[in-house]
Structure 1
Amino acid sequence: MEIIDLSTLPGTEARYTEFLKRVCDKFEMDHAAYAGMNPSEGKVAGHVTYNDDWKEHYQKHDLVMIDPTLHMAKRSIAPVDWSRLERSQNFQRVFRDAHDFGLPSQGVTIPVRGPYGDIGFLSVTRDCPKEEWRKLYTHVISDLQSMAVHIHDNVITSDEFAGALYHPNLSTREAEILQWVAAGKSQQDIGDILSISHRTVEVHLRSSREKLCALTTPQAVGRAIAVGLIGTG
């Protein structure tokens, strides 16, 4: 899974850092992190207040592939208190490493589902006794959910986020077939031109529609043209 650090995109560092610092200050948290995911592309774009050493370690060891705070939240509509995950093997693996970098294993991840199949996650963490965490969690969780929606809405509408997260990678054959569709050719025509079966053409078109989050082939063609993956016909 590809990880895109939003803070490395031009003009975004101050904006995303300010988002997360405000969350930490307002809700008395030690760290905050935002991640946005495009499930069809397997890309995660995000920004965190964690130190660079942990960020480098997390990416180098592909911990995003097993991080239960993200994978559980991806399947949930409710906030995921990390205490629910403590017995899982992957939690122990990820947070054993995190502990080595001075990070606590106490926190919550709040999922937000957007209008284009996108999913956002706001995570916050605080190093404190469990009883203190439970009281703080109860007091702030409602406001944190509102903040998660606010952050996701702001980030997803930014040009930087859209460019990083919603630029699908079509295969050469998928792009070629969509180009022929844009030129007005039928699936049978395309199969004859490329010397492949009609069924194979449909398989590639189905894959293209999934990658472009399109319900129909014409919609897939329009989106492919819009992001410059194919010409206008």
Structure 2
Amino acid sequence: MIPTAELNDLLHAPGIEDLWDMHQRRMAGYGFDRIMYGATRYRSGAHLGDAEDFVILTNHSTDYTDVFIGEGLYHHAPMVRWALDHDGPCSWSLLRQMAETGNLSAEERKVFDFNLSMGVRAGYSISFRSVSPRTKGAIALTAEEGMRQRDVDAMWETHGEDILLLNNIAHLRILSLPYTSPARTLTARQREVLGWVGDGKTVQDIALLMGLTGATVEKHLRLARDALCVETTAQAVLKASFQNQIFMMEA
């Protein structure tokens, strides 16, 4: 039984860093000492969008992430592909079955072998239910080295519902908190002008409200579009809203 206080801590975490620290410690208590969370709001079919726009949280070593994420191995990871087509938890026994029956492509086999070489052998994946075809989130829970998949599966029989609940709460909280790559973080001025645009104000209105010239407002809008890597101000407002960079209470 998960203590109520622990659930409240997750629900009221002030930021992603605090939330993630609590969550990875709790998952380690179940034997998952390495975890990786990923989410996108820019999915189009099998394409997940620009990696710069992903929310990625992990405590894996850089030796692992530099290859799995940096070199794009995740594109061909069997459990990532499974997550795109399913909701809920899945035992990694599925991977062993696929490997033993020859149902892994050459690219998938490369990911499978890389994971084995890095001690990523046993665990569970959870694919979170999406409310839009453009969004998807999932988490990979890697068991401590030395744990066998059958041991993980036995543990899941006892604690799986609690683990699933904690991960769903963490996922929903992550989606509600500001998060973006440093290159796409807006300045306070850029957030403010986009917020006024979202409220239906014109450039002239914003200039008056902020005590700026129209040219300065236009400059902040242009820099916001550049930072967010979009073409129009409407797209900038949408992306900044998705990333919780505007219309948010200040910490």
Query: TM-score, with normalisation over the residues of structure 2?
Result: 0.56
Q: What residue number does 2:90 align with?
A: 80
The count of residues paired between Structure 1 and Structure 2 equals 165
Q: Secondary structure at the match of 2:131?
A: coil
Q: In 2, Cα distance between the equivalents of 1:91 and 1:74?
A: 15
Q: What residue number does 1:17 align with?
A: 21
Q: What residue number does 1:28 align with?
A: 31
- Which protein has greater RCO, CA pairs closer than 8 Å, 6+ apart? 2
The aligned runs of 1:77-226 (5 Å cut-off) are 77-86=87-96, 87=99, 88-89=104-105, 90-101=107-118, 103-116=119-132, 117-126=134-143, 127=145, 128-160=147-179, 223-224=234-235, 226=237
Question: Unaligned 5+ residue runs, structure 1?
Answer: 1-10, 168-211, 213-220
Q: In 1, Cα distance between the equivalents of 2:239 and 2:115?
A: 40
Q: What residue number does 2:217 align with?
A: none
Q: In 2, Cα distance between the equivalents of 1:122 and 1:164?
A: 24
Q: In 2, Cα distance between the equivalents of 1:124 and 1:228?
A: 29
Contact 1:73 1:111 in 2 (8 A): yes
Query: TM-score, with normalisation over the residues of structure 1?
Result: 0.59
Write out per-residue CA displacement over residues 87-109 of structure 1, whole angstroms, 9 at most, x where no aligned residue: 223443213112323x2321111
Task: Report whether the alignment pairs 1:68 with 2:55.
Answer: no
Contact 1:32 1:122 in 2 (8 A): yes
Residue 228 of structure 1 deviates from its aligned partner by: 8.1
Q: In 2, Cα distance between the equivalents of 1:159 and 1:30?
A: 25
Q: In 2, Cα distance between the equivalents of 1:31 and 1:45?
A: 17
Question: Unaligned 5+ residue runs, structure 2?
Answer: 1-14, 187-229, 241-251
Q: In 2, Cα distance between the equivalents of 1:29 and 1:145?
A: 13
Q: In 1, Cα distance between the equivalents of 2:148 and 2:93?
A: 12
RMSD value over aligned CA atoms? Answer: 3.3
Contact 1:156 1:162 in 2 (8 A): no
Q: In 2, Cα distance between the equivalents of 1:162 and 1:104?
A: 26
> Quick one: which amino acid aligns to residue 23 of structure 2?
F
> Quick one: which amino acid aligns to residue 107 of structure 1?
G
Q: What residue number does 1:37 align with?
A: 40
The percent of aligned pairs where both chains have the same amino acid is 15
Contact 1:37 1:45 in 2 (8 A): yes
Q: What residue number does 2:214 align with?
A: none
